Structure 1
Amino acid sequence: MADPAETVPSAAGGPRLGGPVAAAMLPRGGVRLRALVLIRWAAVAGQFFTAAVVHWGLGFKLPLLAVGGAIALSALLNLTVSLGRPASARIDDREATIFLAFDILQLAVLLYLTGGLVNPFALLLLAPVAIGATILSLTSNIVLSMLTMASISLLGLFHQPLPWHGPPPELPDIYRAGVWAGLTLTTLLVTLYGWRLAEEARQMADALAAAQASLAQEQRMSALGALAAAAAHELGSPLSTIAVVAKEMLREVEPDDPLREDVELLSAESERCRTILARLSVDPAGDVSDAYTLVPLPALIEAAAQPCRREGIAISFRAGPVGDGVPATAPIQVRSPELMQGVGNIVQNAFSFARREVVISTRWTASWSEVEVTDDGPGFSEALLDELGTPFISTRQGEGGHMGLGVFIAKTLLERTGATVTFGNRRESGGGALVSVRWPNPVFKAT
């Protein structure tokens, strides 16, 4: 199992990040420049096409020089940006905000020249806001929203007449106010909803990356254990030969010979090496070689919980069948990195909040096997109980490196093994947290 210092869960499962998990949580990069450049080229083409259709197709007179200049300025800026930096470059949050702010101002100028909010294309002011909501930080989105709403308000008061045959139509003031209110409220809603949904998607992506990093760490530890088992097997024969030769030398060397002490040391050290290799070969908790791919579930749970022990907190293991006609022998389970890391995170979380004892019960029937981890701590908060298992949920988020990912990682990894994970609180006196992990269709050795 990974070093607990790298994945120490918080109250609702926030690991103290370190090692590969911290690497997965590095700050996200910005949006690619190519994406924003292509969006602006599409906008420039659309603006040019619309102006041409309105002026030459419909016969409405536009201030062509001013409108063409605003469109040309946007195209010129796009060319400058494209030539100055590679299209695959990523721009940070500040640069993307400036990029989109220019688009808002350019659209506001075009609308000022063509009727203000009465122009049907006033809705296009919402496009930069919608794009920013998906890629920018909350602060940058607030800036863009304020700029958009300020532009809408100014356009409602100051604008050139709407291009028209003869005098433009005079709309009632209440209708103009309604257009202003609708665009302003839509700007706020697009920003809030768009940013919130995009932020949740980014958080889930970060949490899944952290889970993958945690699993990769456990897989590396498993590979190290397999390497140790292979080394024990390969070194057994030459070490046996060394031990035999050392014993032969010990019999032939006289007690008063100066080499006697060195030979005795050689014999003792070779015996010590044989003991170490034997322990590596027969301990299924520390060896993940093929001989121990399938392990009785209680032994597997004990192995996963072993690195989580904490001084001053007792741990009890209970195991047994439930009901009649159930095999007394425990079901076997694949010793997978997902199971070891997932159960380890849950047990570590229990140790973090237990006062005196953590109890791990393993039960099974003919149709399911279950591991239940309980502690005598304060238990899960009722306000967070329904949210457990989602990323970045923790009562200690931000304290001591806790990020609210421990329970999410454990739940994600255990569900990959086919388990169902449920969270609750003990009903007995004293209370405490209760986490249940249940697998359907247990496999018994006899089958």
Structure 2
Amino acid sequence: MFNSSGAILQGQERSNWIRLRTLIFLRWVAIIGQLAAITVSQQMYNLQLEFGLCYLAIGVSVVGNLIAIFVFPENKRLNETENFMMVLFDLLQLSFLLYLTGGLNNPFAMLMLGPVTISASVLGLRSTILIGGGAIMLVTMLAVNHLPLVTESGEVLRLPDMFVFGNWAAITIATLFMGAYSRRVSSEMHSMSDALAATQMALAREQKLTDLGGVVAAAAHELGTPLATIKLTSAELLEELDDRPDLREDAQLIREQADRCRDILRNMGRAGKDDLHLRQAPLSAVLNEAAEPHMDRGKEIIFEERPGSGTAFQQPSILRKPEVIHGLRNLVQNAVDFARTTVWLESSWNENFISIRIMDDGRGFPPQTIGRIGDPFMRRRRQESDRPSRPGYEGMGLGLFIAKTLLERSGAELRFANGPEWTGDVPVMANRTGAIVEVRWPRRKIDARAGDNVVPLGKNRPIET
């Protein structure tokens, strides 16, 4: 569903999620209800209907279902066009039955809303508009043209014209409302599902990188001793082979390659420490790690610290969780994208809370979207002035959603504001006029030296083989 950057791949239609057997089952339910209604009207109320045509319309649905069952496999999933044709057939079949049974005088006319609701939930916008518009047209025709309901004595059963108009208006309004309502709800559910899938992929990627860093660090540590032995042995061979130049060259090559392996492992080991140490890091180190990919993007990133007083003066060591690093990295990226020249990363702490504020000197969040920040796929049309600073950026809001979801999972609370309207407990300098994001954890949630979060540091033991 997503590529490596978390964007939705084109060509994946929502209607592909619907199995043919699901619609077949729903149609069987409709067929049973239609047969029951026709039978009751004939046996109990002796209505004079065109029963031959009614059973013909129902029979067409039965034949269609049987063909679908025997021709297509059970796991058949419908594409957009096939789903549209199925729903359109049901709409036309129901309209024909209503034409034969009194039109809008028939209380079952409200069932016209069924195909509209289904199309709004699973089909694209164009198909939904066609189904909804077709339903309104058919209801309008049924209000004027239909076969009357006639009793056995010849009495015509019909509603007053005002009630027929009322039924038409109710069905038309309900078609528009139910269609719009179902589509909006299903669209938000799909967006949330997509965004959560992207969040899980981002977290899995960050977890994999963290695990890889631990493996690399352990390998660098464990291979240090055998490489030192190889180097020492080769040095002794060099001294003993002064009279054998051909073998001395081989010993020299062994020593050079051992030095090369040592340098490679040293560089790899810089990516992380032993597995135990990877679980925690000073607050400043985690913040530097999150900002590191954006340090060379043409904007100055300034780190500031506001320590607490007394026992809380010392900088805390926090849990080095992949979701924390990835979430902060997304927020820093957003700040760097929109800053004019400078981004400030301010960390503060006291005995109860640990906070990080990310500020820039850009134009800030659009006032009309501040209350919706963190919603997935929040589209906003780019202004022309945005294009030079963020070429190709479409403003989907997925990055902020991922950051917000991951950080909240770690126990943080996020606040979004602009510099001039910030109401926090720490003053904002005049030049920080852009967006402000505050990430705040209760200390017990993130402090690696408090409560259940204490990370045990024991002896480093060699890997057993």
Q: TM-score by structure 2 length?
A: 0.85
Name the residue aligned to 1:123. 110
CA distance in 1 between counterparts of 2:287 and 2:65 reads 60
Change (3 A) 1:193 1:444: closer
**Residue aligning to 2:278:** 292
Distance 2:273 2:18 in 1: 45
Displacement after TM superposition at 1:171 (Å): 3.2
State the alpha-carbon separation in 1 of the partners of residues 350 and 364 from structure 2: 28
Retained in 2: the 8 A contact 1:357–1:376? yes
Q: Does residue 39 of the first structure (1) align with residue 26 of the second (2)?
A: yes
Distance (Å, rounded) in 1 between the aligned partners of 2:262 and 2:399: 39
1:87 positional shift:
2.6
**Structure 1 Cα separation of the partners of residues 416 and 10 of structure 2:** 26
Deviation of 1:245 after TM superposition, in Å, equals 1.5
Corresponding residue of 2:412: 419
Alignment pair present for 1:55 and 2:42: yes
Distance change (3 Å), C-alpha of 1:138 and 1:347: same
Which sections of structure 1, spanning at least 5 residues, go unmatched?
Answer: 1-16
CA 1:408/1:303 → structure 2, altered by over 3 Å: closer, same or farther? same
Other structure's SS at 1:21 match: coil
> In the alignment, what sits opposite 2:171?
183
By how many angstroms is 1:39 displaced? 0.4
CA offset digits 1:46-105 (Å, max 9, x no partner) = 100111111012222322111111111111111111211113211012111110111111
Quote the offset at 1:258 in angstroms: 6.6
Q: CA deviation at 1:421?
A: 1.4
Distance 1:144 1:440 in 2: 52
Partner of 2:455: none
| 1:310 equivalenced with 2:312 (yes/no) | no
Q: Distance in 2 between matches of 1:286 and 1:422?
A: 31
SS in 2 for 1:90: coil
Name the structure 1 match of 2:442. 440
Does the residue aligned with 1:310 lie in a helix, a strand or coil?
A: coil
Equivalence for 2:366: 381
Aligned-partner Cα distance in 2 for 1:74–1:446: 67
| Separation in 1, partners of 2:184, 2:376 | 15
Q: CA deviation at 1:308?
A: 2.3
Q: Of the two structures, which has the highest relative contact order with CA contacts closer than 8 Å and spacing of 6 or more?
A: 1
**More displaced 10-residue stretch of structure 1: 285-294 or 192-201:** 285-294
Amino acid at match of 1:229: A
User: 1:303 is matched by which residue type in structure 2?
Assistant: E
Contact 2:343 2:359 in 1 (8 A): yes
Contact 1:310–1:351 (CA under 8 A) maintained in structure 2: no
- CA distance in 1 between counterparts of 2:11 and 2:441 reads 34
User: Are the equivalent residues in 1 in contact too, given 2:415–2:437 (CA < 8 A)?
Assistant: yes
Report the counterpart of residue 224 of structure 1 in structure 2: 212
How far off is 1:297 after superposition? 1.7
Distance 1:286 1:138 in 2: 50
Contact 1:101/1:144 (CA < 8 Å) preserved in 2?
yes
Contact 1:313/1:358 (8 A) holds in 2: yes
**Aligned partner of 2:336 among 332, 351, 355:** 351
- Provide Cα deviations, 1:155-193, integer angstroms capped at 9, x if missing partner: 111111114243114533222222111111111111111
Structure 2 gaps, min length 5: 383-389, 421-429, 452-465
Name the counterpart of 1:193. Answer: 181
Moved more, 74-83 or 348-357: 348-357
Bigger mean CA deviation after superposition, 388-397 or 376-385:
388-397
What amino acid does structure 2 have at the position aligned with 1:302? N
- Report the Cα offset of residue 20 of structure 1: 6.0
1:431 — aligned with what? 433
Choose 268-277 or 356-365, whichever is displaced more: 268-277
Give the CA deviation at 1:264: 5.1
Q: How does 1:397-412 map to 2 (within 5 A)?
A: 400=392, 402=394, 403-412=396-405
Q: Residues 207 and 248 (structure 1 numbering): CA distance in 2 closer, same or farther, change over 3 Å?
A: same
Q: 1 CA distance for matches of 2:44 and 2:245?
A: 115
SS in 2 for 1:386: helix
- Aligned equivalents of 2:227, 2:332: Cα separation in 1: 39
SS of 1:179 mapped into structure 2: helix
Q: Distance in 1 between matches of 2:324 and 2:450?
A: 23
| Structure 1 position 401, deviation (Å) | 5.8
CA distance in 1 between counterparts of 2:11 and 2:261 reads: 43
Q: Residues 22 and 223 of structure 1: is their aligned pair in 2 closer, same or farther, counting only changes over 3 Å?
A: farther
- Structure 1 position 365 matched with structure 2 position 345: no
The separation in 1 between residues aligned to 2:176 and 2:21, in whole angstroms, is: 27
SS of alignment partner, residue 156 of structure 2: coil
Distance 2:180 2:92 in 1: 21
One-letter code aligned to 2:433: G
Partner residue, 1:236:
224
Is the 1:343–1:410 contact (alpha carbons within 8 Å) kept by the matching residues of 2?
Answer: yes
Mapped to 2, the partners of 1:399 and 1:104 lie a distance apart of 46
Secondary structure, aligned partner of 2:358: strand
Structure 1 Cα separation of the partners of residues 89 and 64 of structure 2: 10
Q: Percent identity?
A: 39
The aligned counterpart of 1:246 is: 234
**Structure 1 equivalent of residue 386 of structure 2:** none
Give the drift of 1:286: 3.3
1:218, 1:341 within 8 Å by CA — same for their partners in 2? yes
Partner residue of 1:133?
120
Identify the range of structure 1 (243-252 vs 296-305) with the bigger mean alpha-carbon deviation: 243-252
Give, as a single letter, the amino acid of the residue that structure 2 aligns with 1:111: L
Provide the rounded CA distance (Å) in 2 between the counterparts of 1:342 and 1:225: 19
Q: Which residue of 2 aligns with 1:7?
A: none
Q: Does 1:391 align with 2:379?
A: no
Displacement of 1:399 after TM fit? 6.6
Aligned residues of 2:313 and 2:350 also touching (Cα < 8 A)? no
Shift of residue 387 of structure 1? 1.0
Shift of 1:446: 7.6
Task: Flag the 1:256–1:316 CA change in 2: closer, same or farther, 3 A.
Answer: farther
Q: What's the RMSD between the two structures over aligned residues?
A: 2.5
